[in-house]
Structure 1
Amino acid sequence: MNLPEIPLDFDRARPAGVYNYYLDGKTWTAKDRETAEAVIQNAPEAREVAKENFLFAGRAASWVVTEFGIRQVFDVGVGLTDDVPLDSVETCVLQAAPDATVLAFDNDEVVLVHARALRRGYRRVLRGDITDLDSILNHPDLTSRPDLVGRIDLTKPIVIVLAAVLHFVDDAAAVMAQLRERLAPGSVVILSHATETGTSAKRVAGMTKAYERGNSSIIFRSVEEIAALADGWDLPSPGLVDVQLWSPDGSYAKEVHDSVRVLGMAAVLRSGPVPQPGGDRAAL
């Protein structure tokens, strides 16, 4: 594997630290705070939307393991979330399915060092990058770690959580295409992505410029571009919607803001009918 990694560098903001700041964590640097506050200056609801995005990931993952019976979940780009006062994907999944195996992956060395030091929350954060699927799907720990032997079977469906990850990837469509080719039928990708649709160009430009201070630029895509990422996948209800509105039965609905929008969906890789709890697929 030729896996790129984000080295230790505290002179620039990193997405994991900025996100931790939004979520009221304590694992951020002055540079992370500076970038986060610059984003908030352009989009006052950024912190609230980030929290809703975090909740969406856990809510969607727990629904998927319950609805589809999948028992292996990979949370990719997990970031710095141990000290966040919200339930993680792992917590939500294990509450819904105690027999599930949840693994976290990240390519940020700060995240990896932090996880090794804490030794709590996710059992372990493995080095992996969504732009290099071998680093995740062929990670040596999957077949060598005693507690994982016999628990991970990639010939069976898997849940991949990509919460606020692909808007930091230049070719997000290529990532989804590779997942479509390599995952077993019945697998589900839980995806959320910042959109420029419905937000002023000035605000988008301001947020984009703020992230340029760090080591990863953000890409705001249109609703149509994000929807196109699911080409070849099926979307159960409610389809692609703001993360504040994502729930299959329509029971979860919070205020949507026009200063910043993040869309979420659960994309199912299967050829048969997709369950439609709560009615027809919602359209934006």
Structure 2
Amino acid sequence: MTADNGLNRDRGRASTARIYNYLLGGKDNYEADREAAEEIIRSAPDAPAVARENLRFAGRAASWAVAAHGIKRVVDIGVGISHGVPIPSVETCVHNVAPGARVVAFDHDEVVLAHARACRPGYGGVLHGDVTDLDGIFDHPAAGLIDTNRPMVVVLAAVLHFIGDATAVMDGLRERLAPGSVVVLSHATSTDTSEDRVGGMTKAYEGASSPINFRSEGEIRALALGWDIVTPPGLVDVQLWSVDGSYRGELYETVRVVGMAAVLPGRQQGQGHMPGGAR
């Protein structure tokens, strides 16, 4: 399928969204993306399997949060290209447990947006937004879809390892969201991953649309400062994440992506985000 020119330009530069699509087994990628993905696989042969487990984790954790907390709004930031991948999307998983829930997706990659317009017209909404510009997301012209006065689920699946200052993102979400909101996040970790493999995967992403930043488990856990990490399971490999322990995927040897869900507790009077970024 050929969408508008947003899918056809910049073919010579690998896109993190299209690399992920290739790792997931999708077909919406170009030669540059495939070359970068194959370089990743040479460093970490398990990367495609872990990518698939990451997408399963995102859907599983988001649907758990919606069902367990009675939340009706889900914001999926950095949604990527999962159309045509044989794994249920976050939206599908959420609607399986809460058919009336609204899922709104954001991405800053024009290729993702063009693909969504062409291939996913029925999606709850794919809007332009960058996780490093939370004002642009929560003050979006279509922000009527998002009510920050009520708890929501925010999904950041394999997003924060492409952000240099991931702490600022989590701090910004903490200031903006209503108590009871849940953040679902996953992140590539350097813990128990060999330096050679971290180096190889880092090199593979150097020429892509965003470099990758591996963090230790301790650094990833610290991103949830001010949040209550759901325990069990805590911060674990994405293929081991389930609150009741019922999901036990295979552990892999060459690369690790860990995930967690964290709930925003009640904030003190006077705290909160005001329109326009004022505090």
TM-score for both structures, normalised by structure 2: 0.90
Question: How far off its partner does 1:124 sit?
Answer: 2.8
- Identify the match of residue 175 of structure 2 among 181, 191, 214: 181
Three-state SS of the structure 2 residue aligned to 1:153 is coil
User: Which residue identity is paired with 1:41?
Assistant: R
1:154 is aligned to: 148
2:22 paired residue number: 21
CA distance in 2 between partners of 1:271 and 1:258 (Å):
39
CA deviation map 1:205-263 (0-9, x unaligned):
00100111212100000011000001100011211000010000001111212310000
1:197 counterpart residue number? 191
Q: CA distance change for structure 1 residues 121 and 89 in 2, over 3 Å: closer, same or farther?
A: farther
- Aligned counterpart in structure 2 of residue 242 of structure 1, from 232, 237, 259: 237
Give yes or no for contact 1:8–1:109 (8 Å, CA) kept in 2: no
Deviation of 1:137 (Å)? 0.7
Q: CA deviation at 1:130?
A: 0.8
After superposition, give the CA deviation of every residue in 1:71-100 in whole Å (9 maximum; x if it has no partner).
000011001111111100000001100110
Provide the rounded CA distance (Å) in 2 between the counterparts of 1:215 and 1:221. 19
Q: Is the 8 A contact 2:103 2:125 kept in 1?
A: no
Equivalent-residue separation in structure 1 for 2:108 and 2:85 (angstroms)? 20
2:258 equivalent among 260, 263, 266: 263
Distance 2:164 2:258 in 1: 18
The answer on 1:232 being equivalent to 2:226 is: yes
How many angstroms does 1:8 deviate by? 4.8
Rounded Cα–Cα distance in structure 1 between residues aligned with 2:143 and 2:199: 41
Q: Is the 8 A contact 1:193 1:264 kept in 2?
A: yes
SS in 1 for 2:201: helix
* Alpha-carbon distance in 2 for matches of 1:22, 1:133: 28
* Change beyond 3 A, Cα 1:180–1:18: same
Distance 1:72 1:197 in 2: 33
- What is the RMSD of the two structures over their aligned residues, measured on CA atoms? 1.4
The alignment status of 1:163 with 2:138, answered yes or no, reads no
Give the CA deviation at 1:60. 0.2
Q: Distance in 2 between matches of 1:194 and 1:210?
A: 14
Where does the alignment leave 5 or more consecutive residues of structure 1 unmatched?
1-6, 273-284
* Count of paired positions: 259
DSSP-derived class of the 1:56 partner: helix
* Residue 90 (structure 1) aligns with: 91
Deviations 1:154-208 (A, max 9, x none): 1000110000000000000110011111111111110000000001101100010
Separation in structure 2 between the aligned mates of residue 211 and residue 122 of structure 1, nearest angstrom:
29
SS at match of 2:229: coil
> Compared with structure 1, are the counterparts of its residues 126 and 254 closer, same or farther at alpha carbon in structure 2 (3 Å cutoff)?
same
Does 2:268 align with 1:253? no
Matched with 1:66 is 67
Is residue 2:217 matched to residue 1:223?
A: yes
Could you tell me which amino acid in structure 2 is paired with residue 116 of structure 1? R
Give secondary structure in 1 for the equivalent of 2:171: helix
Distance 2:120 2:186 in 1: 27
CA distance in 2, matches of 1:154, 1:9: 36
User: SS where residue 148 of structure 2 aligns?
Assistant: coil
Amino acid aligned to 1:226: I
TM-score by structure 1 length?
Answer: 0.89
> For residues 63 and 90 of structure 1, what CA distance do their matches in structure 2 show?
13
Where does structure 2 lack aligned partners over 5 or more consecutive residues?
1-7, 268-279
Shift, 1:120, TM fit: 3.5
Aligned 8 A contact 1:116 1:124 in 2:
no
Task: Name the aligned partner's letter for residue 28 of structure 1.
Answer: N
Distance in 2 between residues matched to 1:258 and 1:198, nearest whole Å: 9
Asked if 1 retains the 8 angstrom alpha-carbon contact of 2:235 and 2:258, the reply is yes
The question of whether the paired residues in 2 share the 8 Å contact of 1:82 and 1:121 is answered with no
Q: Deviations over 1:98-133 (max 9, x none)?
A: 110001100000111111122445233100111101
